[in-house]
Every structure is written in structure tokens, then in C-alpha cells.
Amino acid sequence: MADLVIVAGVSGSGKSTVGEALALELGVPFVDADSLHSAANVAKMAGGTPLTDEDRGPWLDSIGQAMRSAENDGLVMACSSLRRRYRDQIRASAPGTFFVTLTGSRELLAERLAGRAGHFMPPALLDSQLAAFEPLQPDERGIDLSIDAAPDTLVARAVEAIRAHP
């Protein structure tokens, strides 16, 4: 099976940066799950209100379908996938998905969000993102990476982990 990877984590953890570089390295397409959010979801977040499970349900279904459709060609998706049950929902469609979670201190995340311009996600939502996040559990296929390393180091570690867990 081709590589099916989701780069997950809270806002500002580096999902888009690391995901894009990882896709290049693996030679597969890259999709940012932010582009699959409904206009209503984006407006809600931009207005400073965290999404609920109900808001995320249809979005997670569309992500599961996109992953499943990519089973032959491979895909790297940047998608927050904050809770275990969200990852379960995606795996229900695409069981082969490997999750790379990006985690770091609140301080570092806040610094990276503050240094970024032109994004709809307000830094004020960081605490709700951190409250929702559930780390990978031992039975989940994936790896957790600490975001204090440079993006190319994170990509190399992710590739190594993907190859080690066929």
C-alpha cells in the first residue's frame, strides 16, 4: 500500500509546514484539511469560537473519504485530528492511516502563532485546541514528534517511523 499519512496537532504545531515537506520526501500529494472545512466552520473559528464535535463530524467524514480514495496513490494530509475518536472516525474509512502528531509547549506554540500572518485561525483559540488534544495511544499506528526540532529533522524522523511500522 502507498503511504497514507496524517500530520496532526493543534493550531500552529507545524502541520502544514511539516506535511508539505513530508509529502515531497515521500513523493505523494499533499492536502491541507483546512481546505475541506465548510465556510461555516472557517467563519466560526475566524470569529474566535472553537468547533464542536458536531461541527467536526462531516469534515472528518470527508477526510476519511479522501484518505480512502488515496489508498493506491498515497497522500499526506495536514489535519488537526485532535481527539482519539476523530482519529478512529478517519481510520474507519482508511484503516492504513499513519498519524504523525506534532506536540510542543504552549509557550512555543503561542510564539509560532504570533509570528504567523494572514491565517484565519486566531491565536486565542490555542487553549481550546490544547484542551481538546488527546495524545496518540499505544494501539494507534503513528508517532509523536516534538516540535522544537527543525522541519527537515521532523520530516526525517517521520519517514523513519513510517518505514519502521509497515
Ligand X SMILES: O=C(O)[C@H](O)[C@@H](O)[C@H](O)[C@H](O)CO
Please identify which residue in the block is written with the cell numbers 516534538.
Answer: 146
Single out the residue of 78, 65, 59 nearest to residue 5, CA to CA. Answer: 78
Compose the 10-49 pattern: x for residues touching ligand ATP by CB under 6 A, - for all others.
-xxxxxxx----------------x---------------
Binders in 16-35 for ligand X, by CB under 6 A? 34
112 near ligand X, judged by CB under 6 A? no
82 makes contact, choosing from ligand X, ligand ATP, none, with CB < 5 to 8 Å by partner type, with: ligand X
Report yes or no: 31 and 75 within 8 Å, Cβ to Cβ.
yes
Q: Given candidates 23, 31, 76, 121, which one binds ligand X under the rule CB under 6 A?
A: 121
Phi and psi at residue 67, in whole multiples of 5°? -65, -45
Please count the residues of this chain forming the interface with ligand X, following the rule CB under 6 A. Answer: 8
Considering just the CA atoms, what is the radius of gyration of the chain in Å? 15
Largest CA distance in the chain: 42
Q: Which is nearer to ligand ATP, 21 or 70 (CB)?
A: 21
Residues that bind ligand X (CB under 6 A): 11, 34, 51, 56, 80, 82, 121, 129
